[in-house]
């Protein structure tokens, strides 16, 4: 079942017909590796893509398929591909566009795993990464040449909590006919990538979508009509020339959303980092309530950010919706009134920050985000430990910086916990 629903409705009903199969209200978990074809001819036709249908769970699975169809509608796009992790989703989205000898442009405020993927792993594949500042769009154009294949940024960056200036980034990409990719992990519902003309959105489902820290997964969604940009585009010859791994099939001649199709037929087939049916089912449960939860996370985070600014021992507070925050204008422009559960504050010195971490009773010391359970992190001594102090400073990380991912507990209890930790 599917229709022109609002995202909140699509999250609950899209891409599953309750009258099919046994009529179950909940989406069944099709925990299977493979599928009976019924006849030799059907088998051959499915492999030749003459007939669509299940082949093998590395390529498609009915439970994972509901998640993909549903997520595409929630995001307002044409199609989606679920992956084994957010990291795999980022990797697929890049190598679906770029090959050896080509380059990608990557925002400097970015998830650590994405940065090391770009700077080390895909570098070994011959893909070059050029770094720009997503709040200084004028840094982009000088980096573009005829080998540029993607412009990548995060809507709200993890961990630095900065918001990309999306409109000029997209305008530059459109001028040069380059695909834009947003990592929208921190801002599901809060930032609507396709309304702003972004081409591809990737998410780690391990954060707000599961919402309870229950599993690792990722997803890639493409906007409607992205084919227009890919077809006949000199930058993306591999969508327009024969793919000899499919007897010379030309993607551009197929009537499907091509970005996702190619990622599935080529990358999922050959690399295999796909979502498991049970994990997909967990993400479907999370997706049903995501829209309520993300607003509550955001409201509590804003209230705590405001409270922290009144605390004598706190030197500074970062939250995009605090008036005077360096991200405030972008938050007002790009976000739907909410800015997620991520915030950070600086207490000036390392020892004090550590004491806070050792004193919280509700906040857990975990390097995750987007859980219903509140989390406190000290970036300088954990996630960013390997960086020099200068590199840390470039990422906005100081020795006294404490990061919070605000969960769904009662606001009063969270404030009381922080208050006793600040004064411990």
Ligand X SMILES: *Cc1c(COP(=O)(O)O)cnc(C)c1O
Residue with smallest beta-carbon separation from ligand X:
86
Q: Contact with ligand X (CB under 6 A): which of 77, 134, 218, 286?
A: 218
Stretch that binds ligand X, among 80-88, 188-196, 271-279, 281-289 (CB under 6 A): 80-88
Which of 211, 222, 216, 215 has the alpha carbon at shortest distance from 76? 222
Which of 152, 222, 140 has the alpha carbon at shortest distance from 176? 140
CB 292 within 8 A of CB 300: no
Is position 183 an interface residue for ligand X (rule: CB under 6 A)? yes
Nearer to ligand X, 221 or 347 (CB): 221
> From its phi and psi, is residue 189 left (phi > 0), alpha (psi between -120 and 50) or beta?
left
Least distance (Å) between residue 240 CB and ligand X: 30
Is position 68 an interface residue for ligand X (rule: CB under 6 A)? no
Is position 207 an interface residue for ligand X (rule: CB under 6 A)? yes
Least distance (Å) between residue 289 CB and ligand X: 19
CB 90 within 8 A of CB 117: yes
Least distance (Å) between residue 86 CB and ligand X: 2
Nearer to ligand X, 88 or 229 (CB): 88
Is position 216 an interface residue for ligand X (rule: CB under 6 A)? yes
Stretch that binds ligand X, among 116-124, 139-147, 202-210, 357-365 (CB under 6 A): 202-210
Long-range CB contacts (within 8 A, 24+) of 165-171 = 165/134, 165/135, 165/136, 165/137, 165/330, 166/191, 166/193, 166/196, 166/198, 166/334, 167/196, 167/333, 168/137, 169/134, 169/137, 169/140, 170/196, 170/197, 170/198
Least distance (Å) between residue 189 CB and ligand X: 15
Query: How many Å from the N-terminal Cα to the C-terminal Cα in the chain?
Result: 55
Q: Contact with ligand X (CB under 6 A): which of 9, 56, 58, 113?
A: 113
CB 375 within 8 A of CB 345: no
Packing angle, helices 62-75 and 277-309, rounded to 10:
40
Which of the residues 157 through 176 are near ligand X (CB under 6 A)?
Answer: 158
Number of residues that bind ligand X (CB under 6 A): 17
Is position 185 an interface residue for ligand X (rule: CB under 6 A)? yes
Least distance (Å) between residue 190 CB and ligand X: 13
CB 356 within 8 A of CB 347: yes
Q: Contact with ligand X (CB under 6 A): which of 63, 103, 129, 204?
A: 204
Is position 379 an interface residue for ligand X (rule: CB under 6 A)? no
Is position 154 an interface residue for ligand X (rule: CB under 6 A)? yes
Stretch that binds ligand X, among 179-187, 309-317, 356-364, 400-408 (CB under 6 A): 179-187
Nearer to ligand X, 85 or 300 (CB): 85
**For ligand X, what does the binding mask look like between residues 35 and 64, x meaning CB under 6 A?**
------------------------------
Give the C-alpha separation, 335 to 189, whole Å.
9
Helix (H, G, I), strand (E, B) or coil at 357: helix
Q: How far is CA 124 from CA 21, 30, 235, in A?
A: 47, 37, 21
Which of the residues 82 through 111 are near ligand X (CB under 6 A)?
Answer: 85-87, 90, 111
Which positions touch ligand X (CB under 6 A)?
A: 85-87, 90, 111, 113-114, 154, 158, 183, 185-186, 204, 206-207, 216, 218
């Amino acid at each position: 079942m599917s229709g022109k629903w609002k995202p909140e409705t699509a999250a609950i009903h899209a891409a599953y017909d309750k009258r099919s199969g046994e009529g179950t209200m909940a989406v069944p978990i099709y925990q299977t590796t493979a599928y009976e074809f019924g006849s030799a001819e059907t088998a051959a036709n499915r492999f030749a893509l003459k007939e669509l249908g299940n082949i093998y769970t590395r390529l498609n699975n009915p439970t994972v398929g509901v998640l993909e169809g549903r997520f595409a509608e929630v995001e307002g796009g044409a199609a989606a591909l679920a992956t084994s992790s957010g990291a795999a989703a980022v990797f697929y989205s890049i190598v679906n566009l770029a090959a050896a000898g080509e380059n990608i442009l990557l925002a400097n405020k970015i998830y650590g795993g994405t940065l090391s993927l770009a700077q080390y792993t895909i570098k070994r594949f011959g893909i070059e990464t050029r770094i720009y500042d997503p709040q200084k769009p004028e840094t982009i154009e000088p980096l573009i040449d005829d080998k540029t294949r993607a412009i990548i940024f995060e809507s709200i960056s993890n961990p630095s909590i900065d918001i990309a200036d999306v409109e000029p980034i997209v305008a530059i990409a459109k001028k040069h006919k380059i695909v834009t990719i947003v990592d929208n992990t921190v801002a599901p519902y809060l930032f609507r990538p396709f309304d702003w003309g972004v081409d591809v959105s990737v998410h780690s489902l391990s954060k707000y979508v599961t919402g309870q820290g229950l599993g690792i997964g990722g997803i890639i969604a493409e906007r409607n009509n992205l084919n227009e940009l890919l077809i006949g585009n000199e930058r993306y010859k591999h969508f327009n020339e024969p793919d000899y791994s499919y007897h010379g099939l030309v993607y551009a001649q197929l009537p499907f959303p091509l970005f996702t199709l190619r990622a599935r037929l080529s990358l999922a087939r050959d690399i295999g980092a796909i979502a498991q049916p049970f994990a997909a089912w967990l993400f479907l449960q999370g997706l049903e309530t995501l829209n309520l939860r993300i607003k509550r996370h955001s409201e509590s985070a804003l209230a705590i950010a405001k409270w922290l600014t009144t605390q004598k021992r706190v030197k500074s507070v970062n939250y995009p919706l605090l008036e005077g925050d360096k991200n405030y204008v972008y938050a007002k422009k790009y976000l739907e009134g909410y800015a997620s559960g991520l915030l950070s504050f600086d207490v000036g010195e390392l020892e004090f920050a550590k004491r806070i971490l050792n004193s919280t009773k509700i906040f857990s010391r975990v390097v995750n985000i987007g859980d219903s359970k509140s989390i406190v992190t000290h970036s300088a001594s954990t996630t960013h430990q390997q960086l020099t102090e200068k590199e840390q400073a470039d990422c906005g990380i100081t020795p006294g910086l404490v990061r919070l991912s605000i969960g769904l507990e009662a606001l009063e209890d969270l404030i009381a916990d922080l208050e006793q930790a600040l004064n411990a």
